[in-house]
Structure formats: structure tokens, C-alpha cells
Amino acid sequence: MPDSIIHLDNVNIYQQKNLILNSVALNIHKGEFVYLIGKTGSGKSSLLKVLYGEIKVTQGEAKIAGFDLITLKTKQIPFLRRKLGIVFQDFQLLSDRTAKDNLLFVLKATGWDDHTKMNDRMNEVLNHVGLGTKGFKMPHELSGGEKQRLVIARALLNHPEIILADEPSGNLDPETTGEIMNLLFDISKEGTSILMATHNYSLFEKYPARIIKCEQGKIFDQPTEVKL
């Protein structure tokens, strides 16, 4: 579909020759916030890996942020990932670098070379996530919520069209989870699509959004009024 930022149709997803998800059809639009749910092993992470180019798909239609995943070449994957922001549950921060140097590493790795623009962009995303005064801190000096804010700042650096978030509240207390959810919803309202895998079904009442469910090798829209 021309207005879809993510479009999958008749896609089979395999992990080491094992069929994980069958005949996947999915459309996500610009600025849409979508939950991705399902039991452990149901295929949530595999679907996310397809979307950021780690798992290859070979049939059907599979497009994300203007890239065709069926014809995607290995050398194109870094360019795809510049269009995406990826937020992990376990942060995956560089422990020997400050918050700002974690961001600098990503900017350099994705082709930025103007030091003034790099510094401006780092300050911009840190302020956006409420860490404007924490850029000099090492990861171990940050709280869990601050680390997740830094991960979101990192994901925003290249003005992504989509953020793929894998259990971003999994290690956070309820109050901090609320702060992170408010931040993610604000980002989606600014036009960035968000696909968030979660086991925390209590979020749906307070932060309602479309729900996609992985179950028995399929994915489908889960009516929000149905008890999960």
C-alpha cells in the first residue's frame, strides 16, 4: 500500500529453516503506534528482525521505509537501519563511554562528519528525551529510566521514520515505565511510527493503541476491547 511505512503481504518468516510465522500480512502507517504481543517464542522478535534486515525473506511483498526487503542486498542494510530506530530492553550501551560519546559513536558509524552538526544533533536528542544535563554521565551513573531515555535518544539521531522497540519497559518500574511510554507516544505524534513488542498488557488501558498479536504461526489485529 502506497501510504504504508511498513507493508508485508504473504511473507513467511523462518529461523534456521524453521517456519516461525506464516503468510504474514501487516500494514503500519506514518505516525502510527502499534503494540506487538504474543507468548515467548511466538515470533515477535523474528518479525522485528525481518524489519531491520537481520532475517532475510524471499517471497511475498515486504517493504519498510522505502526499502524492498525481498531484494535487499547486504550492503544496503546499513542504509535501511539509518531509516530505523531500534530500542532494546537491555539497552546495549557502550559501558566505557559517556552518554554523549555513545551517541557520537552512532553518528560516526552512520556517516556524519561535520562536528558542529554532530554536536548540535546530540544536544537536540538529549534535550528531547530529558537528558540535556546528563551527556557527560557514564552508563553506570544513569538510572534504568535514564538509560532507556538514552537508548531512545540514540534511536532518534538519524530522524528515523520508524522505531522498533523490543520490550522497552521490561526492566523498568511502573513510574519510569509511564515516563517512557509518554515519551514514545509523543514521538509517534510527531510522525514517527512505533512498533513496540511487549508482554506488559497492563499498558493497553492507560496507553491505548492498535494491537497486533503473534499466535500459532500467524499475526492478526487484536481487538482492543477483547480481554487479553
* Residue 81 confidence class, pLDDT cut points 50, 70, 90: confident
pLDDT of residue 172: 84
CB 37 within 8 A of CB 220: no
Q: Could you tell me the three cell numbers for 159?
A: 530522524
pLDDT of residue 110: 84
Task: Name residue 19's beta-bridge partners.
Answer: 14
CB 194 within 8 A of CB 19: no
Please say if the pLDDT value at position 218 is more than 60.
Answer: yes
User: Residues of the chain with pLDDT > 90: what percent?
Assistant: 71
Other C-beta atoms within 10 Å of 170: how many? Answer: 15
Q: Please name each of the domains of the chain with its CATH number.
A: 32-52+80-221 (3.40.50.300)
Of the chain, the end-to-end C-alpha distance in Å amounts to: 29
Please say if the pLDDT value at position 62 is more than 50.
Answer: yes
Other C-beta atoms within 10 Å of 144: how many? Answer: 15
The sign one gets for the Cα dihedral 45, 46, 52, 53 is: positive
CB 158 within 8 A of CB 117: no
Residue 101 burial (10 A CB sphere; 0-12, 13-18, 19+): middle
> What is d(CA 116, CA 56) in angstroms, rounded to the nearest whole number?
37
pTM: 0.90
pLDDT in tens, 88-111: 777 889 999 999 999 999 999 888
pLDDT of residue 225: 47
Element housing 151 (H / E): helix 144-156
Which residue in 206, 195, 227 sits closest to 27, CA to CA?
195
Q: Could you tell me the three cell numbers for 73?
A: 542486498
Q: Could you tell me the three cell numbers for 1?
A: 500500500
Residue-wise burial string across 188-210, b where 16 or more C-beta atoms lie within 10 A, e elsewhere: beeebbbbbbbebeebbeebebe
Residue 228 CA neighbour count, 13 Å, CB half: 23
* Residue 226 confidence class, pLDDT cut points 50, 70, 90: very low
